[in-house]
């Protein structure tokens, strides 16, 4: 029998564990959830409306399917009003509530909106919600309590963070151990002879592992083994001959490429230049045109970061044209490297404010991506149609076109992005776009989401720290406290 209108809804813990309840939560079907509440708790539509901050008429429309719940704040109001336990909130696509709000085991939950609820926003959004600027979003964060967002953007959730036993170290990782192996004069190593013949298969596995650690943003783990790997490869290049030596030089080019990429993330221009130069020298010695073009990517990147933008554009364009000429018929590997080189050139052109050149190179890369037809991470490029769109976001932001960047990002299927570093980069670029547009809350949420999937990409990169400082300076009071806490967590100094 339905209770009186002003009575609180008493929801036993067992309700949230019922199979039909978990099904409607997964489907995020608010109407069926309300119907189950009526069935198992006897709650009236008026009681449900009071608990969830709605009118009785709106509850009725939702239950009858006339209206659908779509806005984030409405899903949050329902979860808060019904005091959903964390497991139910996660099924409902929401972040868990603060621990202090969770009743003790066996305690029944009385659904009502408690006064004075000042929990900080939790921030791991669904991309479509994060990028949706409609429905009154022109107003800056007027209600930070109710504007929480969905879990699920990156394939991880706050649940996984809660289950982690240790807190990630927010201190930047140190790449100083790379300096001795990169600055060693080549002739000094000629006297070093390996105790046993180099094992090309083992070296290949080690280089692939380094590549994987880089793409997974596990930089502190990568730096532990990379100097020794570079030294082993150098010895292999000196001691082997014939086809095995060519293979060793190609592996050395790849490993130095990884080292240069890591150093660029740390803003270490000097060591990055040395690593990129070693990569290109080894690539040329390998006499493999695909390896040479792959190393040209890191040369281009290093030139860009050093401010040599015209040279970066020229290098990328020339090397891409050379690879295209050398390939009588492109293989998937060569097409992936070719397209990635064009994308790197497009970014350099955008930074050089050469808008037409940037878009021309983008279009050529798009054509290569369509010819490839997949995002396969061949030759560790992560190249494909989705990757080309990621670069369109980056270039739009670089050119100051924040609206274009968000529009392009809306159309990206995140499930097609399997490389963590690429996914985190998209979130960082999205944060840059929102900051350009004055959407500080969404910029903060994007950075939070990126940190959740790639802590070291956020905590260890000076360029991201600069972005966070910009957010701290320009953010309105409604989110500044959360932004300051986030800055502290990742080790940003002001």
Q: At 67, which CATH number?
A: 1.10.260
Boundary of a domain, candidates 96, 115, 134: 115
Q: Does residue 199 lie in a domain region?
A: yes
| One domain, residues 17 and 69 | yes
What secondary structure does DSSP assign to 434-462, as a single string?
Answer: HHHHT-HHHHHHHHHHHHHH-HHHHHS-H
More confident residue, 115 or 355: 355
d(CA 479, CA 438): 13
Q: Does residue 362 lie in a domain region?
A: no
Taking CA 453 as the corner, what is the angle to CA 452 and CA 454, rounded to the nearest 5 degrees? Answer: 100
| Helix runs in 82-199, H state only | 86-91, 127-131, 158-162, 178-183
| One domain, residues 222 and 244 | yes
d(CA 38, CA 41): 6
| One domain, residues 109 and 13 | yes
| One domain, residues 88 and 124 | no
More confident residue, 69 or 279: 279
pLDDT tens readout for residues 293-306: 999 999 999 999 99
pLDDT tens readout for residues 211-252: 999 999 999 999 999 999 999 999 999 999 999 999 999 999
Q: Does residue 210 lie in a domain region?
A: yes
Average pLDDT, the chain: 83
Q: Does residue 402 lie in a domain region?
A: no
Q: What is the CA radius of gyration of the chain?
A: 26
CA quadruple 32, 35, 37, 43: dihedral, nearest 10: 150
What domain range includes position 31? 1-115
| One domain, residues 47 and 72 | yes
d(CA 38, CA 126): 30
- The reported pLDDT for the residue numbered 493 is 77
- The reported pLDDT for the residue numbered 124 is 41
d(CA 272, CA 149): 38
Q: Does residue 304 lie in a domain region?
A: no
In this structure, of 386-400, 403-417, 421-435, 456-470, the range with the lowest mean pLDDT score is 403-417
| One domain, residues 184 and 152 | no
| One domain, residues 133 and 203 | no
| One domain, residues 159 and 181 | no
Q: Does residue 475 lie in a domain region?
A: yes
Q: Does residue 282 lie in a domain region?
A: yes
Domain count, the chain: 3
Positive or negative, the CA dihedral 13, 151, 470, 494 is: positive
> What is the C-alpha end-to-end distance of the chain, expressed in Å?
60
pLDDT tens readout for residues 454-471: 999 999 999 999 999 999
When pLDDT is averaged across residues 54-62 and rounded to a whole number, the result is 88
| One domain, residues 179 and 233 | yes
* Position 170 pLDDT exceeds 80: no
| One domain, residues 181 and 272 | yes
Q: Does residue 394 lie in a domain region?
A: no
| pTM score of the predicted model | 0.70
In this structure, of 9-18, 69-78, 422-431, the range with the lowest mean pLDDT score is 69-78
* Position 117 pLDDT exceeds 80: no
| One domain, residues 154 and 194 | no
Boundary of a domain, candidates 241, 259, 287: 287
| One domain, residues 128 and 194 | no
Boundary of a domain, candidates 259, 287, 315: 287
d(CA 108, CA 242): 75
């Amino acid at each position: 029998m339905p209770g009186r209108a002003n009575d609180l809804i008493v929801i036993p813990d067992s309700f949230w564990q019922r199979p039909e309840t978990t099904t409607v939560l997964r489907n995020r079907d608010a109407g069926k959830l309300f119907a189950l509440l009526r069935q198992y708790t006897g709650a009236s539509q008026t009681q449900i409306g009071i608990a969830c901050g709605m009118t009785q008429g709106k509850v009725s429309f939702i239950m009858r399917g006339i209206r659908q719940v779509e806005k984030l704040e409405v899903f949050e109001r329902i979860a808060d009003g019904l005091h959903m336990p964390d497991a139910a909130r996660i099924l409902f696509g929401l972040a868990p509530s603060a621990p202090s709000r969770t009743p003790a085991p066996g305690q029944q939950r009385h659904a009502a909106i408690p006064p004075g609820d000042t929990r900080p926003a939790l921030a791991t959004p669904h991309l479509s919600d994060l990028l949706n600027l409609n429905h009154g979003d022109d107003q800056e964060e007027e209600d930070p309590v109710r504007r929480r967002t969905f879990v699920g953007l990156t394939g991880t959730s706050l649940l996984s963070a809660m289950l982690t036993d240790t807190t990630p170290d927010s201190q930047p990782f140190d790449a100083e151990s790379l300096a001795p192996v990169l600055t060693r004069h080549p002739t000094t190593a000629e006297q070093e002879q390996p105790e046993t013949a180099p094992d090309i298969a083992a070296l290949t596995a080690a280089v692939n592992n380094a590549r994987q650690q880089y793409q997974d943003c596990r930089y502190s783990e990568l730096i532990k083994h990379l100097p020794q790997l570079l030294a082993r490869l150098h010895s292999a290049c000196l001691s082997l001959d014939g086809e095995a030596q060519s293979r060793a030089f190609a592996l050395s080019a790849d490993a130095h490429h990884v080292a240069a990429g890591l150093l660029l993330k740390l803003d270490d221009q000097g060591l990055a230049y040395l690593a990129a130069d070693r990569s290109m020298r080894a690539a040329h010695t390998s006499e493999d045109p695909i390896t040479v073009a792959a190393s040209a990517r890191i040369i281009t990147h290093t030139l860009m970061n050093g401010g040599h933008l015209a040279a970066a554009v020229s290098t990328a364009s020339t090397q891409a044209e050379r690879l295209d000429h050398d390939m009588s018929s492109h293989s998937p590997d060569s097409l992936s490297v070719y397209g990635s080189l064009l994308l790197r050139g497009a970014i350099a052109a955008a930074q050089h404010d050469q808008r037409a050149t940037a878009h021309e190179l983008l279009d050529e890369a798009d054509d290569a991506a369509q010819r490839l037809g997949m995002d396969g991470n061949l030759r560790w490029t992560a190249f494909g149609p989705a990757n080309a769109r990621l670069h369109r976001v980056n270039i739009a932001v670089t050119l100051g076109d924040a609206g274009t960047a968000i529009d392009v990002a809306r159309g990206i299927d995140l499930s097609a992005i399997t490389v963590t570093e690429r996914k985190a980069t998209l979130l960082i670029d999205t944060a840059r776009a929102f900051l350009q547009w004055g959407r500080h809350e969404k910029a903060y949420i994007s950075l939070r989401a990126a940190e959740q999937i790639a802590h070291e990409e956020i905590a260890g990169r000076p360029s991201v720290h600069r972005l966070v400082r910009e957010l701290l300076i320009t953010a309105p009071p409604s989110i500044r406290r959360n932004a300051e806490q986030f800055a502290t967590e990742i080790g940003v100094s002001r």
